[in-house]
Amino acid sequence: MSALALSVLLALVSAVAYAVGAILQERVAATDRNHLYAPLRHPAWWVAMVLNGVGALLHVGALVYGPLSLVQPMGALTIVFALPIAAVFVHRRTGALAWRGALMATVGLAGLLSLTAKADSASLADGEELVVAGASLGTVVVLFAVARWVRRPVVRSMVLAGAAGVAFGIASVFIKSLAVGWSSHGLSGQWEAVPAVLVCATAGVLLSQASYRDAGLTAPLATVTVVNPAVASAVGLTLFGESFRYGPTGAALALAAGLLAAAGLILLTTNHAQTEQARLEQAAAQEAEGARGTRAPQALQAAEEPSEGLLPSVPVQQQPVRPKPAGRRQGGPSGQTVTPPALR
């Protein structure tokens, strides 16, 4: 097996591990809304962290054997794998729009894979490490501040997911630099990038966990999978000397493939918005139906049994009972009592 094929295989398995971990993170975020960033008391969250760790190790292996501009776009397959896995194990329905977006993302990634050229291994210089770390940290802080300012929950989740994508992308850049440096120069002089990897990876995990709180699984995961490879590939193309086949034509085709993959992920985000809107409308309809069903028996009961105090009470005057005058009995065959004429 060639180094490029091994890199692709490791990246695929890494995407599966990340997909399962993201599903678990989203479920924990949906059930525990009190712990925004790190629900430490949930065993499922720790399982998700283990899966993310496995995915990260496999991702490191893929970066060792393949170029950054090839490995990072394959991370977008996480959303493609997450859809069927969530449908089977979490019983989450996936509409035609979501599957269309997943297909577009897959075709776009296949185009990127076919156009990526093998580049000589390179690592970041000391000055470049400082510039990349400072720029990425500043970007994450700005996005986090914007997310705190935004009031709409879905938009806030998307901004947090974008910040997580930036953090994950820069972590991959430093991992690639560490892998190349260790293979070329050994462990000496390579430990400076380790804190940057740990900080970026931790920030990415916490920000992605927070992004699942108000927007579900698809939209935040799609945002991370778009921003992550875009940031890492941009660094790989500008600082690592990576390129695409067939010169300018290949670069244009790769750009078209990347846009196709991004459009597919945007469709996935749109699908979430439509699904959420339909869910809210259905909930509102059920609530209105329940309210009508509750008011009808109450109205009927009120009509049959008027409440006390609605009608004014009218006092009833008692009339004095007049004693009947005593009559005198007149003789006759019937023996009837005859009332005197004066009293008739």
Q: For residue range 303-329, what is the model confidence (pLDDT) as tens digits?
A: 555 544 444 555 555 555 565 555 554
Does the pTM of the predicted model rise above 0.75? no
pLDDT at residue 13 greater than cutoff 50: yes
Residue 217 above 90 pLDDT? Answer: no
Phi, psi of 7 (to 5 degrees): -65, -40
Measured distance CA(140)–CA(153) in Å, rounded: 19
The candidate with the shortest Cα–Cα distance to 19, out of 320, 248, 222, 315, is: 222
Q: What are the strands, taking DSSP E only, across the chain? A: 328-329, 337-338
List CB contacts of 198: < 8 A, sequence separation 6 or more: none
Weakest-pLDDT range from 14-23, 70-79, 82-91, 297-306: 297-306
Task: Provide the pLDDT confidence category of residue 46 given band limits of 50, 70 and 90.
Answer: very high
pLDDT higher than threshold 50 for residue 133:
yes
Q: Is the pLDDT of residue 62 over 50?
A: yes
**Residue 228 pLDDT > 70:** yes
Q: Enumerate residues 6+ apart whose C-beta is below 8 A from 182.
A: 190
Q: Which residue has the higher pLDDT, 258 or 271?
A: 258
Q: How confident is the model at residue 121 (pLDDT cuts 50, 70, 90)?
A: low
Is the per-residue pLDDT at 273 higher than 70? Answer: no
The ranges assigned to domains in the chain are 3-272
Contact 210, 143 (CB under 8 A): no
- Picking from 65, 156, 77, the residue whose alpha carbon sits closest to that of residue 119 is 65
Distance CA 103, CA 83 (A): 11
